[in-house]
Chains A and B, each alone.
Chain A
């Protein structure tokens, strides 16, 4: 009959509802993050151009979950109705219960979405339990290893739990030792340039091109970033920004050396606004390959509040 294994029938629906629940939860988390007008959490996770994908993800998951849930309820209702009316048509009953499964008694095919196994010597059985993997695994079809199922749900709970805890909620602090050996702290001799807006990324890239270096050298400008003290040179410290190319996993720091006449008693990580004259120097520490680095000869410095979005892209 169609319900040879009532226990398995229940576990099938539990698995299916579990899938729907987790998908919906992840979809909701994605949607909430994407719909936040400040994008507070998303800014910590992904570059702005990928924010739209999270919105798509949230909407798609919620939509699919809704459709799947309606379908499950509909089949449950229909199955109930069939049962009370008697087993007039076993094949139809099986079809209603097994979305996507074949109704043929001799089918070798595994129901794709509901993963049932059909015995050949009986009519298509309805809800045999799928294995814990959710897709046709072992031939016996009753492989519901509880610990594996639990482990899967624990893994799936992790991102949901993090979202509900509001994490992440602030930028990472990446401590690093900055090597300032070889930086010449004498004031740059050379043509004095006018004021110019300075950009961390541009300065970082300009270091690799002599033409771009000439474009910036000698000009005055301001830079906003975080302080990090450097080793090997008491009058030099590092001003850096955290830069995200894709997602939080690739965040690195790009930096500019700041030369100051006096020591700067500001704690590492503090946000500051620094003005000064820019130049590039070829830094060659004793045991490392040399390269050009941007150096700002500081004229003034003031602390400031952290910006709402700490990253540059």
Chain B
């Protein structure tokens, strides 16, 4: 591995800029939606629609991506504004984690990426891959389960610690909402006053730009981190780390998912390109990636305090690992019992 300046510097610049410009349009989209949400959706509507039961709220939060599809970068500004509108933190976290996976765009791209997969065990490898429909289904199911589990833990933490979980910028986001008594919401939020269309558009622009710049700073820091790590560890190194040992393969793909900072619309193509890996490892990559990577971590620090961040990280990582290992052994058992597959 050539670590000279001439080799490293162009790589760093290109990888950093690539990550940045891949994510930036989606952040703009998310910020725009956040602005529209803030300006046009009255608070009362949101709290009327959200169920009182927190776990039902989590269940719904995890499915909101079907209504509001958004990739993992754009979802943070939207989530902050939902929090501000009175959506409970646990539901917001469910949306934050599951939204980038459980949406139509990702379903389609995952299907397309894996539709060319050779699902018969070829003689060069005894590994039988998932078919495209199976990979899509497993990704959605486990994405939801991990998000639900993590959001439930967050709800428990919220009941213990309240707004101490949130960074100062986000604490104020929640102050406008009073969840204990939904009838006592202040009626003075912007959307309830009569303002001209021009004023509304101006407001949306200000909010959108503010949210955009706010989170882009963290995206930039995360992209730098990801580019540095990516330069230090090459693709070949990672491929060679594990192809036989299933838990190690899964951990390697999980590590890759964190390092690679891909958008969930397109990460399926990258996962599919790791042809020799076991399918459970690719599944782990596809479930963990949209929930956790370096740029997301930096953006989380804007909204969450360390306790909450590490709660989320540990819950997500542990669940993904455990479920992937289970899937691997169950799949192997299934394949063995249907020997005609190869």
Residues of A within 8 A of B (CB): 16, 19-20, 22-23, 26, 30, 33, 42, 44-47, 50, 53-54, 56-57, 60-61, 64-65, 67-68, 70-71, 74, 99-104, 107-110, 112-115, 133-138, 152, 155-156, 158-159, 162, 167-168, 170-176, 205, 207-210, 245-253, 282, 288-292
Contact = CB atoms under 8 A, between A and B. Distances in A.
Nearest to A69: B205
Contact of A245 (B39, B193, B273): B273
Interface in B14-62: 14-15, 17-22, 24-26, 28-29, 32, 35, 38-39
B276 A136 contact: no
A283 to B, nearest CB: 10
Given A26-B24, A30-B24, A208-B125, A64 B208 contact: yes
Contacts of A26: 24, 216
Contacts of B190: 100-102, 112
B205 A64 contact: yes
A292 B11 CA distance: 29
B168 A23 contact: no
Contacts of B227: 249
A100 B220 CA distance: 28
Given A54-B21, A99-B199, A210-B123, A19 B13 contact: no
A156 B216 contact: yes
Closest 9 CB pairs of A and B: A248-B18, A136-B172, A71-B202, A57-B25, A247-B18, A113-B206, A53-B25, A175-B2, A247-B22
A167 B13 contact: yes
Contacts of A108: 175-176, 186
B124 A174 contact: no
Chain B CB count within 10 A is highest, among A71, A109, A205, for: A109
B206 A45 contact: no
Interface stretch (B92-100, B156-164, B264-272, B323-331): B264-272
B307 interface: no
A245 B169 contact: no
B221 interface: yes
A23 B240 CA distance: 42
B273 A135 contact: no
Q: Is the interface of B mostly helix, strand, loop or mixed?
A: helix
A176 B276 CA distance: 20
Nearest to B275: A208
Contacts of A56: 25, 28-29
Given A156-B217, A173-B7, A50 B202 contact: no
Contacts of A64: 32, 205, 208-209
A79 to B, nearest CB: 15
B232 interface: no
Nearest to A168: B14
A113 B210 contact: yes
Interface string B196-222: 000101110111111011101100110
A147 B201 CA distance: 33
B101 to A, nearest CB: 16
Given A47-B266, A112-B39, A251-B15, 13 more contacts: A19-B209, A45-B18, A50-B266, A109-B189, A113-B203, A155-B220, A156-B216, A172-B10, A172-B11, A176-B236, A205-B275, A249-B15, A252-B235
